[in-house]
Structure 1
Amino acid sequence: MINLHDKVAVVTGGGRGIGRGITEKLLEAGAWVLVAQRQPLDTELAENEHVAYAHADLSRQEAPYTIAEAVKEAFGGADILVNNAGFMFEQSLEEMTEENWDRMMAVNLRAPVFLAKALLPQMRQRGGGSIINIGSIEGIGANPYHIAYCGSKAGVHGFTRAMAVDLGVDGIRCNAIAPGWINSDLSNDYINAQQDVEQAWKDLYAMHPVRRTGEPADIGGVAVFLASELSTFLTGQVLVVDGGRTAKLPLPF
């Protein structure tokens, strides 16, 4: 089992969805975790002595520096940063406004970059670290009406590589995870709203060579690996974790 007992992690949006899967896997490995998000922690996380909480609205410019101060106060600094928080909207180009575009880029692009900046002195002082950015297979391909989301996630993949080049000298590695379909209330509701629900699930599973969709813990396991000593020669990479979905060529029958 991977041992992160002496490590401190910051996970944005770490209380629910993919972020929750990452938080739980980091805790299983023995890490201390600061969860930064707008929503308060649920009872299970709030009562865990290895967990701290920072209220943060990542659309605001000061949020990264608030988070950096919070983890320093709670645990003395951070070794691991998981930039997980983000959001998505579906709009055609005709419908999309500059305000919607700007908010997407503020949360999905600006916040992770400047949170890395805010935590950089702590990581340097602690001898290095691991930055893990959550991208998406939509940073590689696209679904309809996801212009802003795809643009933001392609940007995550791009700045991941650039950070790896710049920060390697400090012993700081930077990688991204590009999840595919990960089960959540929102994704399940989408499938269950289809006209033929049973066929929709069958078709979805058929898109995946592993014949299932992903769970938050699947992303959490990869994040723990990237945070650990097992991946010290791995940096500047985007790891696609999608059950083989993007590897499978579509057939017309």
Structure 2
Amino acid sequence: MNRFAGKIALVTGGRSGIGQAIAKRLRQEGARVFTAQRGPEVDFEGIEADLGNPDSPGAVVSQVIEAAGKLDVLVNNAGMMQESTVEDMSVEDWQNNLMVNLTAPFLMIKAALPYLRKTRGSIVNVGSIEGLGSNPGHAAYCASKAGLHGLTRAVAVDHGAEGIRCNAIAPGWIDTELNMSFINSMPDPEAFRRNIGNIHPVGRTGTPDEVAALVAFLAAEESGFITGQVYTVDGGRMAKLSLP
């Protein structure tokens, strides 16, 4: 397929994991892909940016427009997760989590809207199943991802008449480098892999490429009647009740 021929895409957090898989998939289908993340990125047209800085999103979009002249697809993928309960988390840490996971996408969308309006472009936000449920000690992460799901719906409602679509995906356990490192740190990694696979009806965890495939579909013109939706990509985990 060549669904993105002549299109310009911006993917935040595109250096590794899900973000890199998304950037590769869009490029494979013809897009010119820019990524924004901490540090350099050599595989794509990388823009170094600290998305914890509120000035960064606007600067990133400006660099894309200066280099390419337009923007067709925005993927807000960059994020962070800090383990803490509400009681134990400082206000500073709380605000930092919300800045990266929710405010940065808000500012990225705000900066991109004038250009997406011209191209009748598409936005895909990377949320999480933890925007729908919660693991222990993930208060700020869950709150920020739930907020990102809500922002997705609001943007879809407010800007749909302008030809701009906005959807989100909610991945579950995906085999990123970070998750693989976590598994390998366990006393018995193979047992952990079996156990984590067994909580999914499909019997395994997911891959970044499987997430990227859905993002590409939602960003493409063939999904033109889909907006304001949050798609769970979790191997059926959220559909499975615990045993009585």
CA positional deviation for 1:2: 4.8
Question: Alpha-carbon deviations, 1:220-240, whole Å to 9, x = none?
Answer: 111110111110000000000
Identify the residue that residue 10 of structure 2 maps to in structure 1: 10
User: Which range moves more in the overlay, 148-157 or 199-208?
Assistant: 199-208
- Say if 1:129 and 1:171, in contact at 8 Å, map to a contact too: yes
Aligned-pair identity in percent equals 50
Name the counterpart of 1:109. 102
Corresponding residue for 1:183?
Answer: 175
Structure 1 residue runs of 5 or longer lacking an equivalent are: 46-50
Please give the secondary structure, in 2, of the residue aligned with 1:220. helix
State the partner residue of 2:201. Answer: 209
CA distance in 2, matches of 1:69, 1:193: 41
Alignment of 1:158-197 (within 5 A): 158-197=150-189
Q: Runs of 5+ in structure 2 lacking a partner?
A: none
CA distance, structure 1, for counterparts of residue 220 and residue 103 of structure 2: 26
C-alpha distance in structure 2 between counterparts of 1:10 and 1:185, whole Å: 22
Q: Report the 3-state secondary structure (helix = DSSP H, G, I; strand = E; otherwise coil) of the residue aligned with 1:226.
A: helix
Whether contact under 8 Å (1:52, 1:74) holds in the other structure is: no
Matched AA of 1:59: G
Q: CA deviation digits over 1:101-121, x for unaligned, max 9? A: 010111111110111110111
Runs of 4+ in 1 over 6 A off after TM superposition: none
Task: Provide the C-alpha distance between the structure 2 equivalents of 1:37 and 1:189, rounded to a whole number of angstroms.
Answer: 20
Letter in 2 for 1:62: D
Give the aligned partner of residue 226 of structure 1.
218
Aligned to 1:21: 21
| CA distance in 2: counterparts of 1:71 and 1:185, whole angstroms | 28
Superposed CA RMSD in Å reads: 1.2
| Matching of residue 55 in structure 1 with residue 31 in structure 2 | no
Residues of 2 paired with 1:156 and 1:89: CA distance?
17
For residues 121-200 of structure 1, the aligned pairs below 5 Å read 121-126=114-119, 128-200=120-192
Alignment of structure 1 residues 35-50 onto 2, 5 Å: 35-42=35-42, 45=43
- How far apart, CA to CA, are the structure 2 residues paired with 1:190 and 1:53? 27
Displacement of 1:165 = 0.2
For the 8 Å contact 2:8–2:33, the answer to whether it is kept is yes
Scaled by the length of structure 1, the TM-score of the pair is: 0.93
Structure 2 match to 1:80: 73
TM-superposed CA distance for 1:92, in Å, is: 2.4
- Displacement of 1:90 in angstroms is 0.4
**Does structure 2 retain, via aligned residues, the 8 Å contact 1:2–1:225?**
no
Deviation at 1:131, TM superposition (A): 0.5
Pairwise CA distance, 1:212: 1.6
Q: Distance in 2 between matches of 1:69 and 1:189?
A: 35
Q: For residue 118 of structure 2, what is the amino acid of its counterpart?
A: Q
Deviations 1:46-89 (A, max 9, x none): xxxxx322111111111111111111111111110000000001
SS in 1 for 2:168: strand
AA at the equivalent of 2:97: M
Contact 1:191 1:201 in 2 (8 A): yes
Q: Which residue identity is paired with 1:146? A: H
* Superposition deviation, residue 247 in structure 1: 1.1
Paired with 1:199 and 1:55, the residues of 2 have a C-alpha distance of 39
The alignment covers a number of residue pairs equal to: 244
Q: Aligned to 1:168, what secondary structure does the other structure show?
A: helix
Q: SS state of the match for residue 19, structure 1? A: helix
Query: Are the counterparts in 1 of residues 124 and 218 from structure 2 also a CA contact under 8 Å?
Result: yes
Amino acid aligned to 1:191: I
- TM, length-normalised to structure 2: 0.96
